Structures are given as structure tokens and as C-alpha cells.
Amino acid sequence: MITSQQLRAARALLGLDQRQLAELAGLSLPTIQRMEASEGQVRGIVDTLVKVITALEGAGIELLGENAPSTGVGRGVRLRETASGVRGARGSSLLYDKVAERETER
């Protein structure tokens, strides 16, 4: 459904803090905090997850599943495989790969 990373990223794109998202979704602040603190896929009551997803989508967020094409327009952020083949590792990016490649050449 949605990962904690997607939830935090979506909130950041909207410029919302956790309290504002809770209000937008009609949930409590501790519920949003628990959802964002979870590892990977957010687990919880389906109704709660639907409320958060509906609130995010209503605010203009397009949630993308693994390898799903985007139907939206405008700018966005998505994890991709880096040139070195690393997926979603912290600190990994095309720029990071180029810097690491130069250091190994030395």
C-alpha cells in the first residue's frame, strides 16, 4: 500500500508537518508518528491507511508502486537504480557513483 519512506516524502513534498497531515487525514498525531516510524511497508488498520492515502492524493500526491509508470505531470521524486546497480541505499546517486568511481581509479 504505502511505505513509511513514501509517507515521509509525500508529506515533505506538500510542506506538511505530522500534525497537519493528521488533521488532513482525520487521524491522531501519534498514529501518523507510528506510521512514519515503521520500517518499510506501513502496517495498520486498512481504514487508517485509506484515510492517509486519500488525504495525500487529495492534496496532489501520486503514490507510485514498485516499477509503476507515472501518469502524473510535473515534477516528482522517485527512487531508482544507480549506475552501480544499488537500489535505494542511503548516499547512493548518480553523482555519488561518479565520485566513488573516481576514487577507485586512484
What pLDDT does 2 receive?
87
DSSP class of residue 61? -
Cβ atoms 75, 14 nearer than 8 A? no
Cβ atoms 42, 49 nearer than 8 A? yes
d(CA 86, CA 103): 17
16-70 pLDDT per residue, tens: 999 999 999 999 999 999 999 998 889 889 999 999 999 999 998 888 877 777 7
pTM of the model: 0.69
Closest to 71 measured CA to CA, from 81, 61, 80:
61
**CA 87, 12, 80: angle at the middle one, nearest 5?**
15
DSSP class of residue 72? -
Q: Residue 57: how many CA atoms within 13 Å on its side-chain side?
A: 12
What cell numbers appear for 66 in the block?
514498485
